[in-house]
Structure 1
C-alpha cells in the first residue's frame, strides 16, 4: 500500500524556515517529514546510519544536523536509546483530516511508541481535538502507570538495601569474636575481608574460621593462607575442628611416608648400564694382567750389563 506525506505550501512561507533555515536545513527537514520511516503520528524509529545513507551525508554531518534541529530550531526530539524521532509540528501539516480510519491508525501507532515522552512532545501542537485527546490519553495512562512502576521499583530497592544491611549487621554481631581475633592478631580488618570472613562463618563455623586463622599465624602466613585452608575444608565438607585436625594429621602422615620412601628407596639401575659397567671392569682386569706379565725394565738392563762384562 502506497504511503503519502503531505507538505503544505505554507511550509515555504513559514517565517522561521525563511529566515533561519539554510538550504541544507530545508532539505533535511523535508527529509524528516517525508522519508519512508515516517508514521501517521509523527513519531517513528530511524537510525542515524539510515539517515546518512538516504541523504548521502556522513554520520558526523547527520549528528550535527540533528543537534541543530533539537537544540537550535527546537523542532525535533530524538531518543538515541530507542532510536525514535519525533517532529514537533507534525500535526500542523498532517492532521487536516479526521475520521475513524485516521483515529484507528493513530491508536495503533501510539501503542508501539517506546518513549512516551515523545507523545506529549508531538501532542501539544496538534490542533484537532479528537486526535489530541488520543495523545493525551496515552500519555496520561503512561504517566500514571509509569509513576506507579517507578514507585514500586524504588520501594523494592529500598527493601533490598534494608535487608542487605540487616544481614550484614546480623553477620557482624554473630561473628564479633572472629573479627576481634583477626584485629588483635592479624591487623586492621577491611570491610571486604570482614564480609568475606562472615561468609566463611556461614559456610563452615566460627570455630573453624578462628582455627584456620590460628594455623596461618602459627606458620607466619597472611590471611590468604587461612583462606586457602578454609576452601579445602569447605570442599571436603569439614564440620568441626576435630575433623579439620584429623584431615591435617592424615596429610602430614602422607607427606612423611612419601619422604621416607624416597630416603630408603634403592636406585633403579637399567640392565644396559650394569652390562657396560661389568665390561669396563673386565677390560681393566685384562690390562692389569698384561702389565704384570711384562718384564721389569731395571731387570732387563742389569741382565744386559752382566752379559757384557762376561764377554769382556
Structure 2
C-alpha cells in the first residue's frame, strides 16, 4: 500500500527555507518525505542508507544533520540512529483518532526516551489529546544532572568502567543531544584519556553551568596536559588545587597557575545550546 507525506506549497516560501542553499533545501524535504518517515516524526535514520538515496557522502549527511540540529529543526541520536523532526506537526500530524492511535503505536518503538519527552511537551503545547497519543507510554520527569562521581570502592559505587555509549548518554542527558561533530570530539578524548574521565569533565561543566563542548574540551585539555591518567588522579588533582586556591574554579576565569583550569575565556556560562 502506498504511503504519502504532505508538504504545503507555502513550504518553499517559508522565510527559513528561502535562505537555504539547494543542498539543504533538498535534505530538509528529504527528511520530511523519505520512505522511513512515520506519523509521529521520530524514526530510524541511517546515515549510510540516506547517503545512497541522496547520492552524497556519509560525511556530507553528518554535516547536514549537524547544521539542522544547530538550526533547531531536528534532533539526532547518533547511538540509536534516530531522528526527530521538531516541527513535524506543521506538515503531517492531524488529530483524527486513527492517526493518533497510529502515533501511539509508533511511540512504543522509539528508543530515545528524551525524544518521547520532547514530543509530549510539543503535543501538550498544541493541546492534542494526550490520553490517546500517550496511552500506556511512560513520560517521566527530566533526569537531573549527576552531582558527583562516587570514588571507586565506595559503598554503593559501580565497579564497572564507563563505555563510549555511557559517555554519549551522559552528554545527551546533561548537556544536549549530541551532534556528530561533538561525538567525534568525545571519541578522541576517550582515546587520549578514558571514558570515566570524560564523564567527570561533563559533570564539571554541569556544575559550573557551562553546558557546551568547548568548556568540556578546555577541562580535558588541562587534565591531559597535567598527565592525569585515571579517575583517582583527577580527584587528587582537583582536591589539591582547591586546597591551594581556597575556591573552586569558575567559568571564564582563565587561571594560569599549574593547578587551575585552563578554560578558553570566550566560552559563555550558558554554552552553545
Q: TM-score, normalised by structure 2?
A: 0.49
Structure possessing the higher radius of gyration over alpha carbons: 1
Q: TM-score, normalised by structure 1?
A: 0.43
Q: Which gives a bigger RCO, structure 1 or 2 (Cα 8 Å, sep 6+)?
A: 2
